Amino acid sequence: MTSITPAAAGVLLLLILSACARPEVADRGNVETSHLSLAETSWTVERLGEDSGPALQELTLTFAENGRVSGHDGCNAFGGDATVKNSTIRIGDELVGTMAACADDIEARARVYRSTLMRATLFRIQNAKLELTDADGTVLIGLTPAPTVLAGTQWDAISYNNGKQAVVSLLNGTSITARFGEDGRLTGHAGCNGYVAAYKVEGRMIVIQPPGSTRRACTEPAGVMEQERFYLRALEMATQYQFSGKRLELRNAEGALMAAFIGGG
């Protein structure tokens, strides 16, 4: 049997340890992925394939803590299952959503968005932005963080609960706004009259006191006063709020949607 001197044994041990050592990973820039969770985050789309532009801000994506994903495709809200582990992601084979009818180009973009979500297999967060990619690392969807603080934000309403167990869009030719001031006051225009209400938030819970408004009577378009009444009532019914991309949703204690907004100018 060949003997090994102590010095040679030491060299051999160093060679073995070097061979087993974890290789260094090349610097990939400001990329943060493996130690981050997507749970309880909300995003808005800024790039869909080769498409980009302000119209994409209506496309949103929110990851819940229970493994569910939800969002808006520009035409309908949707939800489904999502599996996120390390840097891999799989969004369920079926995303269930509402069934509103929209213009052909909006519906086409909505289909592209939802199908692209289900093609994503990897994700990375770079410079605080989320990128969903295919297995080769090609970016399919680029997203930016949604707002996280309500105070100091301004919104344009896009739908409200009409008190008949239905969420409806605003009447053509009308606009409703909401500004959540840092002083605890909610102000805006309800379609005909200006309004003001005190509000208070704690976590994701919100209390909006009965709004006061000016006393103007509007006759055009037909139904504008009824719309205003139901909108203001919906504000009172809200008990929780959530961001979905650049959308704000107010919901009641049962989770029913009371009003939905998109970021205002």
* Residue 103: pLDDT band with limits 50, 70, 90: confident
7-12, long-range: CB < 8 A, 24+ apart:
none
CA 214 – CA 196 distance, rounded (Å)? 9
User: pTM of the full predicted structure?
Assistant: 0.60
pLDDT in tens, 33-60: 444 579 888 888 999 999 887 778 788 8
What CATH class has 31-145?
mainly beta
Which pLDDT value is given to residue 100?
A: 78
As annotated, the residues of the chain forming the CATH 2.40.128.270 domain(s) are 31-145, 153-263
Which range is least confidently modeled, 37-46, 51-60, 127-136, 189-198?
A: 51-60
Asked whether the predicted pLDDT for residue 133 surpasses 60, the reply is: yes
Asked whether the predicted pLDDT for residue 95 surpasses 90, the reply is: no
Which of 32-36, 103-107, 127-131 shows the highest mean pLDDT? 127-131
Is the torsion defined by CA of 63, 66, 69, 71 positive or negative? Answer: negative
Q: Which CATH architecture has domain 153-263?
A: Beta Barrel (2.40)
Asked whether the predicted pLDDT for residue 136 surpasses 70, the reply is: yes
Which pLDDT value is given to residue 36?
A: 58
Residue 232 makes CB contacts below 8 A (sequence gap 6+) with 190, 195, 211, 213
Phi-psi region of 234 (alpha: psi -120 to 50; beta: other; left: phi over 0): alpha
CA 174 – CA 168 distance, rounded (Å)? 13
- 4/41: higher pLDDT: 41
